[in-house]
Amino acid sequence: MNDRVTFSEDGQEQRPLKDYTEEAYLNYSMYVILDRALPNIGDGLKPVQRRIIYAMSELGLKATAKHKKSARTVGDVIGKFHPHGDSAAYEAMVLMAQPFSYRYPLVDGQGNWGSADDPKSFAAMRYTESKLSPYAELLLSELGQGTVNWKPNFDGSMDEPEILPARVPNVLLNGTTGIAVGMATDIPPHNLREVVSACIHLLDNPKTTTAELCEIVPGPDYPTEAEIITPRSDLLAIYESGRGSVKMRAVWHKEDGDIIVTALPFQASGSKILEQIAAQMRNKKLPMVEDLRDESDHEHACRLVITPRSNRVDVEGLMGHLYATTDLERSYRVNLNIIGRDGKPGVMSLREILKEWLAFRVDTTRRRLEHRLDKVDRRLHLLEGLLTAFLNIDEVIHIIRTEDEPKAVLMERFGLTEVQADYILDTKLRQLARLEEVKIRAEQEQLAEEKAKLELLLSSDARLKTLVKKELQQAADEFGDERLSPLVERAETQAFNETELLPSEPITAVLSDKGWIRAAKGHEIDPTSLNYKAGDSFLAAVKGRSNQNLFLQDSAGRFYALAAHTLPSARGQGEPATGRLNLPAGAVIANLLMGGDEQKVLLSSDAGYGFVAKVGDLYTKNRAGKAVVSLPKGARVLSPKLIDSEDALVALVSNEGRMLVFPLSEVPELARGKGNKLLSIPSSRLQSREEFVVDCAVVPAGGVLQVYSGKRHLSMKGKDLEHYIGERGRRGHKLPRGFQKVDGLGLE
């Protein structure tokens, strides 16, 4: 690229804009990837986080120290190490201090550091105080022990650590999220004990597979008690590929009829969830919920109360709907993208992460031991010189006092090295005179013993791994805790469809003579007293519920379905049914019907034919309806009769006063058709309308049948009906005189 740089006559550098922009973009991209957005496998920290932790340790803000103003710390970070704004540094610091964001917080804060409801509602840094948490020691404890590579800070005025010497795989424990250029990272938090156990197992068994490691680390462990509902097989796939998603679901229980939510998914806001549910209630999308409140306090960090409308509400179904439509269930992306030991980013499996980190840890431990060994060797060397000086103290003091170049004389006379001679000369004469052989030899013995141990450790990889295991176990014993997020496999949830969400209120559908329909709330309404248009009057009414369908039967035997909640109010005069339906020529709406899908109904014609059908089978979306009852020539439809019990009786009466009663079980169950003969009517007499069925009724066991004739009625009980009981399809028996001109049948 540089070979395309040219210089103008006045000595100005010139280069193509394409090359310049391309290089600038690539430089920026690599900077974001490597020095800003992605964590390092070693300590699991982004550069800004590492600088904050290191700066706090430099300020002496250990777990045992007093809290210090956060502004002082942030000022130190941006002044010495981090070339960015104070707010960015402070936000990174806040995140590390929030127990609801970090599984094992690195910063211990005083003051307002935000809440789970609103993590960004923290106070300004001039109001908060902070220090390092005890856990941070796991990243810092080995800092001055030759375990760190140092690099110049942003302005080259001082050095900062490249990676902190972490004693635990913090990259997995606290997790992290970051957006780089062309890539991102999303690492969920994990349980310290589980991860340490997996590390120890991998050290003992280097050929362990990811599947075996997943037995020890079954899944993430978020800083919330909400359930992880992702199946084990999916979690294994995530840990093998390094990519996938994890689902979390809120935890609830029933208490005095109320639903109590006690744990929310990671980073889910209780107030936002209540807002989501309240919005559904306002939009009439959640009729089964009566009330909603937040009872969270210092004792109960999360306590959301949802009160169902009644104890008949399907609570499991309701919660399933809320899981599907609110943040009570959340999905989290997993992308295990980490900067490895080679300094390059890459998506790793669980095994690769642990293997890489263990290699880093073993290397760090070796460096620590070698550094200590060097220090021991140096001290032993100095002690050797001191002992020589002690044994010849008078001569040494004489040389120091009399000689112009005592260093060369001492080296020559006693065979000392330059380091030993310098050390003796740097020691005050008073201290030289006080030297004690016993103390020197005791220190020598002690250091020789330590040296032997260090050399033994460094000479054997197995011993080194054992030391790493021991230190890991120690960290787990000190900082480990029980798993917070239980792993529970749950079925998929589904939001309620529109029908299920409708309120189940009693309504009365009313049909006028001219075919206008409307619906009134309640079952106590008198449909005949409603206001009708001039020339119009009441024809039929049916009782049902607002979440059911209203079925309309026309004079041709077709059925039409309308959702009851869409019917116009009975406060007005309704609207014509023909506006919503396409009726055949000459047909008019004759009857209404409402009931549950499994409810059975007797459909019949005045030709004496009929059958039993299910209400659900009558449903159709078609505006043109569904042909259900086939009518013989000259026949008309009778109003449908709902069946409440299987052991009921069917009663039919003709215009000539003949009545037949027989068991309902004799009537066949069909989906459509003419049906079977119920009462015998000669077809010739039917066509001329001399004889036809006036009405039919379904009489439950022990019920009372009423026969209406003009203004009079006759009540007939069990014994009274016996006379009319016969086989289905017979002619029946004549009713008593005075009741042979029948207007209709009813039940008491």
With contact defined as beta carbons under 8 Å apart, do 251 and 103 qualify? no
CA distance 47 to 39: 8
Tokens 């459509």 -> residue: 672
Phi, psi of 334, deg, nearest 5: -120, 125
- How would DSSP label each residue in 131-182? EE-GGGHHHHTTTTTT---EEE-TTSSSEEESS---SS-HHHHT-EEEE-SS
Distances (CA, A) of 368 to 88, 152, 263, 692: 34, 22, 43, 107
The answer to whether residue 127 is catalytic is yes
Q: Does residue 568 sit in helix, strand or coil? A: coil
Q: Which two tokens stand for residue 94?
A: 């806040």
Q: How many angstroms separate the CA atoms of 90 and 646, rounded?
A: 75
Query: Which CA distances in Å does 606 have to 39, 511, 692, 709, 746?
Result: 83, 21, 5, 18, 17
Note whether 345 and 38 are within 8 A (CB).
yes
Residue 652 near residue 609 (C-beta atoms within 8 A): no
Cα 605 to Cα 693: distance, rounded to the nearest angstrom? 8
Give the integer Cα–Cα distance in Å for 575 and 515: 8
Our CA dihedral for 482, 42, 100, 122, rounded to 10 degrees, sits at: 150
User: For residues 505 and 511, what is the distance between their CA atoms, to the nearest angstrom?
Assistant: 19
- Radius of gyration for the chain, computed over Cα atoms and rounded to the nearest angstrom: 45
The C-alpha atoms of residue 606 and residue 686 are separated, in whole angstroms, by: 8
Cα-Cα-Cα-Cα torsion 100, 101, 102, 107, nearest 10 degrees, comes to -90
592: exposed, middle or buried (Cβ count in 10 Å: 0-12, 13-18, 19+): buried
Active-site choice (25, 28, 31, 127): 127
Phi, psi of 464 (to 5 degrees): -65, -45
The residues carrying an active-site annotation are 127
